[in-house]
């Protein structure tokens, strides 16, 4: 009897569904909100705060895109996704873009038919050991017991690293980061390995963070970035250039503090083109002229977003490192706005 509630709602949902269309931009505008896939919870990158609002480094990419497309950074429907269902959610159209610390790899780009629009964080796998062990390099870890998360690329990278250096190790595989932290602290393993950013955030929560060191070796490349489906190049361009706008703004010195002033026009033609006072870049994307200004108004440029969520002023305390602008010796680089 009571199954009506389900069928009724199902029918209504079916009615309300918008007709299929290749243009994601039109869909997003029609819905009035951007469906953005995020992590179910990774420190600094995506997490709900006490009031239920999503915050984080990846979340700000979603908000910037929503602001660029819809003019409202809050018009985002966050879809928390696990590493298992993130790709199907994107492929099936449940979400419009995925910003869920996803590593850009060949097979994901080519075989799964996604378009990675850029890299917003260059991560890599590292090792953490107790200082008391006196280890200073990962090359000295022969025979160590290692806490790892199962089912991730971490496990494979670890095997590769130890094999190529002719060392042996004993893995202690566990399912979640939280369990690994507990195990490592309880002394169940000598070494804890995962992405450097996650290690830094874990260490920051330890009772005595100074008793632990993160070894300098980075044993894998994990370029994390937002991605969209193959086949809608206009939408891919919008997400790509929104990310580029955040990056270029830092390089050009556009910050949330001087954004209003600069959007009245400056002496720099590139800033003017970026902020829409010169040229017609917004129009070429199918957006309003002030799209990049809206995106920057959300939480500032790339550097500001980095500092707010994961930078050295936060408890996580990540240095810019590879994620510094190219002019400062990092890899963060935006093609010109021309």
Partner 1 sequence: MSDLSYVRTEMLDEKDPPGGEAGIVTWIHKNLFPSIGSGILTVISIFLVYQLLAGILPWMFKSSWTASSLNECREAIHLAYGEGTEGACWSVINERYKQLLFGFYPSELYWRPILAFFLLFVAIAPVLFNKVPRKVLYFSAIYPFLAFWMVWGGSIWVPISAMLGLVVGYYASVILPAVIGSLGAIVAAMILPIVWWILLAGPVAGMLQGIVPISIESVGSDKLGGFTLSVLIGVVGIALSLPIGILLALGRQSPLFVVKIICVGFIEFIRGVPLITLLFVASTLLNYFMPPGTSFDLVLRVMIMVTLFASAYMAEVIRGGLAAIPKGQYEAADALGLDFWKATRLIIMPQALKISIPNIVSNFIGLFKDTTLVSIIGLLDPLGLTNAIRANQEWNGVVWELYAFVALLFFIVCFSMSRYSMYLERKLKTGH
Q: Among 13, 111, 132, 313, which residue sits at the site for partner 1 (rule: CB under 8 A)?
A: 13
Q: Around 258, how many Cα atoms within 13 Å sit in the side-chain half-sphere?
A: 10
φ, ψ of residue 198 in degrees (nearest 5): -70, -35
The yes or no reply on residue 176 touching partner 1 (CB under 8 A) is yes
Region of residue 321 (left: phi > 0; alpha: psi -120 to 50; beta: else): left
Within 10 A of 202 (CB to CB), how many other CB atoms are there? 23
- The interface region with partner 1, picked from 49-57, 219-227, 242-250, 320-328 by CB under 8 A, is 49-57
Query: What does the alpha-carbon distance between residue 334 and residue 216 come to, in Å, rounded to a whole number?
Result: 28
The yes or no reply on residue 3 touching partner 1 (CB under 8 A) is yes
**What is the three-class DSSP state of 329?**
coil
The residue whose two tokens read 């496990």 is 155
Q: Among 57, 78, 122, 162, which residue sits at the site for partner 1 (rule: CB under 8 A)?
A: 78
Q: Compute the least distance from the CB of residue 201 to partner 1, in Å.
A: 6
Mask 309-338, x = binds partner 1 (CB under 8 A)? -----xxx----------------------
Q: Compute the least distance from the CB of residue 250 to partner 1, in Å.
A: 23
The yes or no reply on residue 210 touching partner 1 (CB under 8 A) is no
Query: What does the alpha-carbon distance between residue 201 and residue 44 come to, in Å, rounded to a whole number?
Result: 8
Q: Compute the least distance from the CB of residue 48 to partner 1, in Å.
A: 5
Among residue numbers 80 through 139, which ones bind partner 1 (CB under 8 A)?
80-82, 84-85, 88-89, 91-94
Report which of 243, 25, 258, 12 is spatially closest to residue 118, judged by C-alpha positions: 243
Torsional sign, CA 323, 324, 330, 332: positive
Q: Among 79, 172, 274, 332, which residue sits at the site for partner 1 (rule: CB under 8 A)?
A: 79
Residue number, 46 or 275, with CB nearest to partner 1: 46
Residue number, 5 or 132, with CB nearest to partner 1: 5
The yes or no reply on residue 23 touching partner 1 (CB under 8 A) is no
The yes or no reply on residue 183 touching partner 1 (CB under 8 A) is no
Q: Among 32, 41, 216, 335, which residue sits at the site for partner 1 (rule: CB under 8 A)?
A: 41
**DSSP string computed for 86-155:** HHHHHHTTS-SEE-S--B--HHHHHTTTEEE---SEEE-EEEEEEGGG---SGGG-TTEEEEEETTSHHH
Residue number, 93 or 335, with CB nearest to partner 1: 93
Cβ 323 vs Cβ 330: under 8 Å: yes
The yes or no reply on residue 299 touching partner 1 (CB under 8 A) is no
Torsional sign, CA 52, 63, 308, 212: positive
Residue number, 12 or 156, with CB nearest to partner 1: 12
Q: What residues make contact with partner 1 under the rule CB under 8 A?
A: 1-21, 27, 39-52, 77-82, 84-85, 88-89, 91-94, 176, 178, 181-182, 201-202, 204-207, 314-316
């Amino acid at each position: 009897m009571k199954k009506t509630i389900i069928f009724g709602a199902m029918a209504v949902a079916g009615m309300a569904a918008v007709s299929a269309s290749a243009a994601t931009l039109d869909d997003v505008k029609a819905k009035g909100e951007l469906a953005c896939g995020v992590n179910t919870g990774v420190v600094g990158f995506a997490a709900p705060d006490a009031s239920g609002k999503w915050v984080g480094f990846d979340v700000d990419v979603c908000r910037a895109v929503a602001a660029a497309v819809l003019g409202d950074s809050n018009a985002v429907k966050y879809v928390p996704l696990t590493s298992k269902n993130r790709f199907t959610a994107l492929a099936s159209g449940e979400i419009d873009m995925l910003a869920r610390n996803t590593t850009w790899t060949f097979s994901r780009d080519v075989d799964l038919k996604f378009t990675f629009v850029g890299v917003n964080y260059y991560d890599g796998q590292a090792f953490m050991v107790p200082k008391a062990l006196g280890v200073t390099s990962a090359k000295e870890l022969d025979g160590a017991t290692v806490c790892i998360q199962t089912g991730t690329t971490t496990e494979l990278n670890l095997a590769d690293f130890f094999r190529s250096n002719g060392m042996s190790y004993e893995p202690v595989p566990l399912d979640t980061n939280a369990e690994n932290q507990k195990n490592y602290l309880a002394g169940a393993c000598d070494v804890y390995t995962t992405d450097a950013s996650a290690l830094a955030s874990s260490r920051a929560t330890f009772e005595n963070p100074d008793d632990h060191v993160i070894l300098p070796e980075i044993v894998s490349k994990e370029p994390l970035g937002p991605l969209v489906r193959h086949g809608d190049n206009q939408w891919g361009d919008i997400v790509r250039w929104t990310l580029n706008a955040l990056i270029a703004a830092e390089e050009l010195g556009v910050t949330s503090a001087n954004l209003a002033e600069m959007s009245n026009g400056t002496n720099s033609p590139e800033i003017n083109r970026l902020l829409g006072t010169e040229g017609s870049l917004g129009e070429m994307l199918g957006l309003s002229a002030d799209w990049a200004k809206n995106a920057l108004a959300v939480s500032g440029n790339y550097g500001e977003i980095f500092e707010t969520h994961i930078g050295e002023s936060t408890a996580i305390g990540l240095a810019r490192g590879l994620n510094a602008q190219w002019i400062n010796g990092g890899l963060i680089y935006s093609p010109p706005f021309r």
